[in-house]
Structure 1
């Protein structure tokens, strides 16, 4: 060979270093040595070898760390690394492979085998890479040599930063059931690592549906938002997505640009998985704004990890669709026999099939009550599964809220009289028409009033207040509805979970759990489907009572 191949041997044992050095010199290689990983780092950046042969168990910086550091630095990633160790457990091989080692050998291997394996790795390394590694071309990047500890610290800092970004993005998987919240949390994190005027997150939801989440300044006009959308989408590869229906979510935030400066594309990256389009991200800047190399790298990491989030979101939606279809089939199979049972029980109870005794009437009444409860539970499960799978459709339109509330409250007169409860309804005369689906919102009010009735002592009071929200720059607009009772209230630990599924409260009268635990979860889903929100406050006053509040859209 015209130019000897250089091998860097790294081992904290002087004896082992000498043995390996002699064997490799005998095979015609040029050999350099280092006593530990930290010393090896300094030598590699000062004079890069053609290949590294390193022990694993060493002080300061072990072989796994040395290998991982070299493979994570683009400057040294192409230098082959062989790891030597006495350990032969499966997990040691796993860590060796995942550290990026080109080969993993046991120290017990005979020396001729080690020499042949070294040559085998060199033979499979492209000559251009080997020539680059053995040159001094790395030196200009690190004039006067390099401080090993500084270099290691820099690489570790970058790995930690990338890992932090990955972890933050993967946290978004906890919000796949709520696109608005997912987008809000994504933009919050994006704003922490980059400066921009507007940004977009495009997600392929599957079944020819896509969601475009935009973050724009509050001052942006509709035309300017449309311009941001057009510019961002044009930068992503959407050639195969022309038939997809696109849902747009706009979140107001971000930096307000100077009116005199144009908006330009700052960053754009489509997200693919095995040539399958998953979505993309884009950032819009102003004037001559540019991204630093570090920020661009961070955004590449963001896009890569978002691919995992989008895949998870699509899988969850597929499962929810399957679950909704299964529940729909199950509900149909259960509802038919239950309806028959209730029908025959009604015939028995009203004497159509002959007179029955008082005791028999009581037993039949229990059957009727049980059927009603089961049918209600079945309907709740069906509706909730539809809501979660996005199959529940609402048809909002101009609706007088007074009529909806009156219809629901009038249907409860008998129950209110039975418990000697007073119901007061106060509706502001200036209240506008609500932009709601009357049927679905009736269900919300029915659930809320039913709960108030169940958990208020006889002689108590339930109040419904409805009034317009003034709106403005810092407050919400629409219609607010408060449903307040004089019960004992809801414990603080329950309030955090009360709108989640299967959260049952305890009746004040018999200390037993009542209801299916689905009613409030359904209320929340329906209200959010209208673009509104719902929350609870308890106690209201004098250490008692609960107030459920809703914000609903107005026409």
Structure 2
């Protein structure tokens, strides 16, 4: 692991020569590259020019203090994702809470213990490396998927698209499996070490002055409790990534050449999970509410992968319509919403309705929505194939019905009916 970490550099920010010497010696002893800044302004300038993998930031400095330096770093898109560890002699809980609220990932108390510095730095470098690896894999695979998707949709090779998505899910499983499998033993180690510390307190209730001072400076009780919380937060994040991977695998069912009994609700939920990033608030865009009113649908005999593609096209279009309404300032007095209703009609057909309260579609355009290459979106925003292929999948491959009702300024509702 050290061979990988030596290719990175750590930024040390401290105005005290003794502190700089101790930290530099600790990092150099592990073969880690580092740079030094003696105040907040120069630290910010250095981090903007060349982003470090980690910042060790002193709290009490001349000029702007560490808290303000951290605040500015986190406010800058160039530096906001760099992990920051505060180095401080402040042991009060209020200061620590302030640091964590500003975005710091850890504290290293003064005076420094080299072993603790090395251990904490190594953990956060490894976490940063793992995070970057996950992000790069997802970004690379997503970029490849996006480039391939237009060509594949144009050629109507949806089974190949499913294989690509399944590949992303498979690649995600390897790194996330490493995290998930190591969390239980890590939790056991923490529990055992905690028990050991309590035994020491019972057997040696009067520690030496040196140990007492160290415990007080470390704020041992807080560290032990916070360590459990940190591992729990890692576990929650890992479970969310696992959920996404499961949704990807469900969405990418590649057995499109054979009709199988399928739970359409699972397909809808998997698609919503994949689109979750577009439903969340982003800048001036509020969150999009999704209201699900699921009826008692029996399993439907269908091409699973292709039906999932229909759900993807319709839900993505609904989000696009809401985004456009927000941009045009037409959602100021209402919450952007997508409503999904499922039921069985009197003809024994599965009914899926997907409605938005966006900008709506003019009557003169509704008749052309299912035409290949026709799109109401700006140039570069759509291929004009999504709805035509969705219509073909529903009508031609499933002997179903696909219809649209829309009112300008009110919203649009797509209805799918599939024979059960």
TM-score normalised by structure 1 residue count = 0.30
TM-score normalised by structure 2 residue count = 0.38
